[in-house]
């Protein structure tokens, strides 16, 4: 028996039954290699160490696809990570291989069933057992805007895509960049997530959640690509090689009017000292239907079976910490996201107005039946389909000779090729 008591954070860890003298250790693989993301995951390391664990991490820079590729190669070479940040259907896929640990014991002891946001449960329990510990809920469909440019031109934040285009025409005519953007497969697809969703929610569900190729070839998808083409025209010439943080800065310093990106932006803005309401506003990306929309993304941690008792103990400790109210506040304040527990009060602990609005909109969206999961952020289809779709979307952004009709067909063809 070994009792683990957290130090500074004050979390009283459950008593863990361990036959041997196991010393909890972990090595967590994740995609958060720099900036506010690295700062947020460092909080987990600090809490793990404060609770008596030995923390190591393997940060894979780039976006989720890189982490997924590394995970695959590590598992194939018999070196499965003790803990890995994993999302959406990939959780079910890895669970089906039998290589992942069952978290039911920790989940029962800690009462996860009573506190985890219902929107996450089926993803974390793909076949009825807890396989993943959810860290957060991220909102993908945020539109950040520049108070400076909107104020100068007397513009309101656009609510529909027509209003958005009309605002951009005025902003460009006044000599400003309308959309700050950094081209990358996932960020191009983040923008496209919002376009398809805001133009036709049923199309989003069919094409991006169910991978329905007829929906991909439909007129609605052609119209969505036409909107994306228009928006590329509202970007400046410097999108290649620009990071999302640099794009964010363009909007927050008044160099560009709008930035479409998930709420990890809030964390990066805080770290850079930008102030909500002064340097930026946050609103949902435009929708052509009336109502509140929420495109959901969630980061979670999956544990791969280990032989070494220290790593097994480390998995239990890490799972407990991730789901603790203390971690959920500390991490999510630092990450820009919303806690995965429903019993955390966002009016305390340093959550921003945008984060609080995110939670309100999540609830409203659930009530209105408009909630979807994000294709661009690995929450709907397997990586092989997402990767194929993202390639088509990013090619379309890069090459303006591709027509919207061609892109819609390419999207369907690419998915069909994956079988």
Least distance (Å) from ligand BGC to the CB of residue 165? 26
CA distances to 22, 193, 207, 216, 381 from 418, in Å: 44, 21, 15, 15, 12
The residue (of 165 and 243) whose beta carbon lies closer to ligand BGC is: 243
The residue (of 62 and 151) whose beta carbon lies closer to ligand BGC is: 62
Token pair for residue 357? 């609005």
**HEC letters along 285-354:** CCCCCCCCCEEEECCEEECECCCCHHHHHHHHHHHHHHHCHHHHHHHHHHHCCEECECCCCCCCCCCCHH
Least distance (Å) from ligand BGC to the CB of residue 139? 11
Cβ count within 10 A of residue 333: 21
| Cβ-closest position to ligand BGC | 264
The CA distance from 24 to 41, in Å, is: 18
The residue (of 67 and 306) whose beta carbon lies closer to ligand BGC is: 67
- DSSP of 173-217: HTT-EEE---B-HHHHHHHHHHHHHHH-HHHHIIIIIS--HHHHH
The CA distance from 148 to 252, in Å, is: 9
Sheet of 177-179: strands edge to edge? 177-179, 256-260, 142-145, 281-284
The residue (of 63 and 125) whose beta carbon lies closer to ligand BGC is: 63
The residue (of 64 and 247) whose beta carbon lies closer to ligand BGC is: 64
| Pair type for strands 132-134 and 300-302 | antiparallel
The residue (of 37 and 361) whose beta carbon lies closer to ligand BGC is: 37
The residue (of 234 and 264) whose beta carbon lies closer to ligand BGC is: 264
| N- to C-terminal Cα separation, the chain | 50
Token pair for residue 375? 């294709």
The residue (of 120 and 155) whose beta carbon lies closer to ligand BGC is: 120
The residue (of 149 and 267) whose beta carbon lies closer to ligand BGC is: 267
Least distance (Å) from ligand BGC to the CB of residue 419? 25
Query: Which H/E stretch holds residue 101?
Result: none
> Scanning the structure block, which residue is given the tokens 């363009």?
250
> Burial of 171 by CB count in 10 Å (0-12 exposed, 13-18 middle, 19+ buried)?
buried
Least distance (Å) from ligand BGC to the CB of residue 250? 17
In terms of residues, how long is the chain? 419
Least distance (Å) from ligand BGC to the CB of residue 197? 16
Least distance (Å) from ligand BGC to the CB of residue 324? 19
Least distance (Å) from ligand BGC to the CB of residue 151? 29
> Burial of 302 by CB count in 10 Å (0-12 exposed, 13-18 middle, 19+ buried)?
buried
The residue (of 26 and 64) whose beta carbon lies closer to ligand BGC is: 64
Q: Residue 103's closest CA among 308, 312, 309?
A: 312
Residues lying near ligand BGC in the complex (CB under 6 A) are found at 37, 63-64, 138, 264, 297, 299, 377
Least distance (Å) from ligand BGC to the CB of residue 102? 24
Least distance (Å) from ligand BGC to the CB of residue 402? 25
């Amino acid at each position: 028996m070994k009792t683990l008591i957290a130090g500074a954070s004050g979390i009283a860890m459950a008593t863990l039954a361990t036959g041997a003298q196991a010393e909890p250790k972990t090595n967590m693989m994740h995609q958060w290699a720099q900036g506010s993301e690295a700062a947020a995951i460092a909080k987990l390391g600090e809490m793990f160490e404060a609770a008596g664990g030995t923390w190591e991490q393997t940060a894979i820079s780039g976006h989720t696809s890189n982490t997924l590729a590394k995970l695959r190669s590590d598992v194939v070479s018999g070196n499965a990570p003790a803990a890995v940040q994993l999302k959406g259907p990939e959780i079910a896929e890895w669970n089906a291989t039998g290589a992942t640990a069952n978290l039911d014991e920790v989940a029962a002891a800690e009462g996860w069933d009573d506190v985890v946001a219902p929107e996450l449960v089926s993803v974390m329990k793909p076949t009825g057992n807890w396989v993943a510990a959810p860290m957060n809920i991220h909102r993908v469909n945020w539109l950040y805007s520049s108070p400076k440019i909107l104020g100068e031109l007397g513009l309101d934040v656009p609510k529909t895509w027509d209003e958005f285009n009309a605002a951009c025409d005025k902003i460009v005519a006044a000599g400003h960049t309308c959309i700050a953007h950094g081209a990358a497969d996932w960020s191009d697809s983040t923008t496209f997530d919002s376009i398809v969703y805001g133009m036709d929610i049923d199309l989003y569900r069919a094409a991006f959640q169910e991978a329905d190729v007829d929906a991909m070839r439909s007129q609605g998808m052609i119209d969505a690509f036409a909107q994306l083409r228009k928006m590329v025209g509202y970007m400046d010439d410097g999108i290649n090689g620009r990071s999302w943080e640099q794009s964010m800065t363009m909007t927050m310093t008044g160099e560009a009017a709008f930035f479409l990106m998930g709420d990890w932006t809030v964390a990066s803005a805080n770290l850079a000292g930008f102030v909500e309401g002064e340097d930026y506003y946050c609103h949902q990306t435009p929708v052509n239907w009336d109502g509140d929309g929420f495109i959901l993304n969630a980061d979670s941690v999956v544990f791969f079976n280990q032989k070494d008792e220290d790593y097994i103990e480390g998995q239990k400790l890490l799972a407990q910490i991730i789901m603790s109210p203390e971690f959920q506040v500390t991490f999510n304040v630092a990450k820009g996201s919303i806690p995965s527990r429903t019993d955390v009060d966002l009016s305390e602990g340093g959550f921003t107005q945008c984060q609080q609005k995110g939670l309100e909109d999540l609830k409203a969206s659930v009530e209105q039946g408009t909630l979807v999961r994000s294709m661009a952020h690995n929450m709907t289809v397997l990586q092989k389909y997402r990767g194929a779709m993202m390639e088509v979307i990013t090619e379309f952004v890069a090459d303006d000779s591709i027509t919207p009709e061609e892109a819609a067909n390419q999207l369907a063809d690419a998915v069909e090729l994956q079988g």
